[in-house]
Amino acid sequence: MKLVIFDVDGTLVDSLRDILASMAAAFTGQGLAVPSDDAIKGIVGLSLPVAMDRLAPPGVDAAGLEALVAGYKAAYAALRVQNGAAGSPLFPGALAALDRLAADPGVRLAVATGKSRRGLDGLIAAHGLEGRFASTQVADDHPSKPDPSMVLACLRETGIAAGDAVMVGDTDFDIDMGRAAGVRTVGVQWGYHPVERLARADLLIDRFAALDAALARLWGTA
């Protein structure tokens, strides 16, 4: 059996609009300047407490960071209700790629995301992706990326060896997480980190249609 582990934001779905809006609401709500779009894109994938610690200006204490996290969660949840799947559309080719892989009896799929369980479950339901993933790991239960905990949990839950698994993501947090867990990595170029930050990936792809060939190459089945 082979295992493909996907990041979510910036890899499967384009949630940047709602992320930027939620960050703006969180920081404005605390009377703080809103970080730049590039700064926010740079922390996508990290767990929220870690992300806020990186984005907040000097002098914001623990209570202030907690307020930023709470403000972001509230804003994002409201946008999810308001916008539904349209707020985080699947990238072109994502659904077809998931369908192809899910139809292969020798492949299992998993998710390792900085989203909360509530956020991931809502996204899966909004896009009708129920039943596709054998393991779903979220920020609620693990240290932030690039700690390998989420990938290691995917391996344990599926019983698949690290050598038969691949992590697919758009940030260097995803690539470093996969490498730390001993799995090979595919960096996607349509996400939120510039390509130069993906240099440690085993392979890079610029469209979902190229994923199957990349996996075959890494597994030596091409």
Active site residue 9: yes
Residue 11: name the closest of 191, 185, 144 by CA: 191
Helices (H) and strands (E) in the chain, counts: 9, 6
Rounded to a whole number of angstroms, the CA Rg of the chain reads 17
Nearest-angstrom CA–CA distance, 67 and 61: 10
- Give how far Cα 216 sits from Cα of 105, 153, 176, Å: 15, 24, 21
Which of 7, 14, 18, 172 is catalytic? The answer is 7
The residues, any chain, with a CB within 8 Å of residue 201's CB and separated by 6 or more, are 175, 185, 186, 187
Angle at 84 (CA atoms; ends 8, 212), nearest 5 degrees = 30
Which of 9, 164, 170, 172 is catalytic? The answer is 9
CA 162 remoteness from chain centre: 19
Active site residue 7: yes
Show which residues are catalytic. 7, 9
